[in-house]
A and B are shown apart, each in its own frame.
Chain A
Amino acid sequence: MAAHVTTPGAVEPKMWLGGIEPMKASYGKLMMWFFLISDTFTFSALLVAYGTARFSFPAFTGKHEDFTFSNMYWPVPERVYEAVPFLHGVSLPLVFVGIMTFILIASSVTMVLAVEAGHRMDRANVEKYMLWTILGGFTFLGCQAWEWSHFIHGTDAGTVMKVIENGTWVEKTIFGANLTENQYGPPAFADFFFFITGFHGTHVFSGVILNILIFFRAATGFYDKRGSYEMVEKVGLYWHFVDLVWVFVFTFFYLV
């Protein structure tokens, strides 16, 4: 009854004057969206820097099949990323990164299925799909660890490059890449690889931790007691965002 009592001088509820949700989303979900927007800025800063560096560097102008590694031009990415585990020495351009993309998209699907099960308060299905999502996350991280390891150790033959060492030009064979040397192209290329995929990988790792937490709380009946599975939805937003970033990294770093 008390809710219906109108005091003299009270105003009608207005869209932006408090008391109602103008965006029809809970506080937590809105804050997740705005956090994701700020995270978008961070990732785009990295992609903006990559675009600027790439376009200010000479591109490889020869025929595709004549491409060789050199620090005089930006490498063709599909010639850099052509290794697949257990198939040593076989040239399979972009296959492994394609598998990684598939894993992440599939884990996004299982995440959204967990969210959907949460809407129905279906605890068993939330648990099942959260476990699949966690498995997908760990598989992706494992793939990335392998890819980094391969990138750091390099090819069997390495690349003979002219580099400046202690102020003089020297010719030497470089194997793999780190932040100062890179057998695949200019050092900046390796730097961007480490920073962009590393920053994304850190996000995947945090996402897996959050997913484990959500799984644990669902499995122990925390959300049943609370009467809402909205936390699954919020963490789901973060997980899809990580997938979304990978879609952009895949295009701008590996395909273009």
Chain B
Amino acid sequence: MAEVQHHHVHNQDPEAGAEQRKAIWKTFWILLFITAGEFAIAFTIPHGTFKISIFIVLTIVKAFYIVGEFMHLKHETKTLIWSILVPVIFVAWLILALMLEGNAIFEAIFG
């Protein structure tokens, strides 16, 4: 208990973690800025593959900041980073593959 108490008092310094808090708010502004940018794009760029590509790239950028900074994955060990990333890469492939499959179904029915 004495040790816990010591730990507690030691960390009451309000300056501790100030850098981390700065990084958190910076990430927040980046996320807000990207979301606002997506809005602007939604109403200015004509609908098509180009617009969809921008949205997907911006979504991945946002995901990078949320997972990397908020979930702290950027600062974990390499083994943990890859254990999370590799399955997700396969999932991204699955999404793409089944979109193409959906398009093939469309061609077969309406093409």
Q: Which residues of A contact B (CB under 8 A)?
A: 22-25, 30, 33-34, 37, 40-41, 44, 47-49, 51-58, 64, 76, 78, 93-94, 98, 101-102, 105-106, 108-109, 111-113, 116-117, 119-122, 224-225, 227, 236-237, 240-241, 243-244, 247-248, 251, 255-256
Q: Is the interface of A mostly helix, strand, loop or mixed?
A: helix
Contact residue among B32, B71, B105 (Cβ-Cβ distance under 8 Å from A56) = B105
Cβ-defined contact, B71 with A52, below 8 A: no
Which size bracket describes the interface of B in this complex?
35 or more
- A23 near B76 with CB under 8 A, answer yes
Q: When chains A and B are docked, how far (Å) is the Cα of A37 from the Cα of B83?
A: 9
- Residue pair B91, A41 in contact (C-beta under 8 Å): yes
Give chain B residues whose Cβ lies under 8 Å from the Cβ of A237. Answer: 71
Q: Tell me if A120 and B11 are in contact (CB < 8 A).
A: yes
Among candidates B12, B24, B55, B110, residue contacting A256 with C-beta atoms closer than 8 Å = B55
Chain B at the A interface: mostly helix, strand, loop or mixed?
Answer: helix
Whether B24 and A112, one on each chain, are in contact in the complex, defined by CB atoms closer than 8 angstroms, is: yes
Instruction: Look across to chain A and name the residue whose beta carbon is closest to the beta carbon of B43.
Output: A93
- CB pair B11 A112 closer than 8 Å: no
If the complex has contacts A52-B98, A53-B102, A120-B16, are A23 and B77 also in contact, measured as CB distance less than 8 A? yes
Residues on the A chain within 8 Å of B12, using CB: 120-122
